[in-house]
Amino acid sequence: MLDPPDGDEFRTHWLSLPLRHLCQDGSPDEPAVTVRLGDLHDGCDIIAEHGRVDVRPCSTERQPDATITAPPQVFVALFTGLMTLRKAQTEGLVVDGSAAALQRLLPAERANR
């Protein structure tokens, strides 16, 4: 997925299952946060609360603290630890809202690089 063949398509919601295992709640004592990847039509919400992370289909019932968009390769590299948040932003990651909410979901060693 880091270097897809020409003509391949990517759907953001395909990351839902891996994100359950790749994300962590780095601030379990803080109020819950929701980070939306993509949009209501093709995306998912990552919810961190009380030390647990859940990934659900996007919902109009939840207002995300941040919405992030990025090229597929950047999403994959960021959440697998191959790219720092800072580098991801130079490669096309856009954070609309709280960057701290996104950082909370990334393992500390990746979020702070």
pLDDT digits (tens, 9 = 90+) for 55-80: 999 989 889 999 999 998 898 889 98
Q: Is the dihedral of CA 40, 44, 82, 2 positive or negative?
A: negative
pLDDT greater than 60 at residue 112: no
Burial class (CB in 10 A: 0-12, 13-18, 19+), 44: buried
Predicted structure pTM score: 0.84
Judge whether 42 and 26 are in contact, CB under 8 Å: no
